[in-house]
Amino acid sequence: MLEKWKLREVIVLSVLAVVFAVVYLVFLQFGNVLYGMFGLIGYDLIFGIWFIVSIIAAYIIRKPGAAFLSETIAAAIEVMIGNAVGPRLILSGMIQGIGAEAVFAAAKWNNYRTWVLIAAGMGSSVTSFIWGYFISGYAALSPGYVTAMFFVRLISGALLAGLLGKWLSESLAKTGALNSFPIGKELKRGKPENGITA
């Protein structure tokens, strides 16, 4: 999967994974507060933040596997720096990454319009929710509550992963740090280079 990647792409993917592993761990504490206030659905309010690295990596790197690998590596690093869930979290990261990667694959890794990034965030919401349904015992909850959780997570994935991921990527590109990537070239030239982004 990585054999056609440039070294700078591997480096950016690795840096993003490390940074967002820390972000994910911090937001876990915030999620625990929301859980105490609202119950399980409290996590769903911010669940999209745990998909954001897959959107950012894919938007910047634009290569098959960027979404999946970034999410999986971030989960592995999160485990190493102290997430109490342990190795099972790596599988969760893989499942979340698959959801986003599937959307980019459907777009042939060549379309990075806003709606594709939003759909990728929602794709992670769907796969993560299916995984959570079986691993976390959602079946014991009322159908109405589970449905509400699902739709809240979809919205969170769209906003916190899709839209926020797009904004963060473009903000980083505006600093000039990504001038050698398509996103940086687009901002300099004022038009898309590899797939329409707006």
pTM value? 0.92
CB 125 within 8 A of CB 48: yes
pLDDT of residue 196: 46
Q: Read off the tokens for 187.
A: 């901002």
pLDDT of residue 188: 81
pLDDT of residue 197: 46
Mark 88-125 as b/e (b = at least 16 C-beta within 10 Å).
ebbebbbbbbbbbbbbbeebebebbeeebbbbbbbbbb
pLDDT of residue 2: 63
Q: From first to last of the 198 residues of the chain, give the pLDDT tens digit.
A: 666 899 999 999 999 999 999 999 999 999 999 999 999 999 999 999 999 999 999 999 999 999 999 999 999 999 999 877 788 899 999 999 999 999 999 999 999 999 999 999 999 999 999 999 999 889 899 999 999 999 999 999 999 999 999 999 999 999 999 999 999 988 888 766 554 445
Nearest in space to 17 (alpha carbons), one of 58, 64, 62: 58
- Phi, psi dihedrals of residue 101, rounded to the nearest 5°: -60, -35
Please state, in angstroms and rounded to a whole number, the distance separating the CA atoms of residues 120 and 102: 8
pLDDT of residue 77: 95
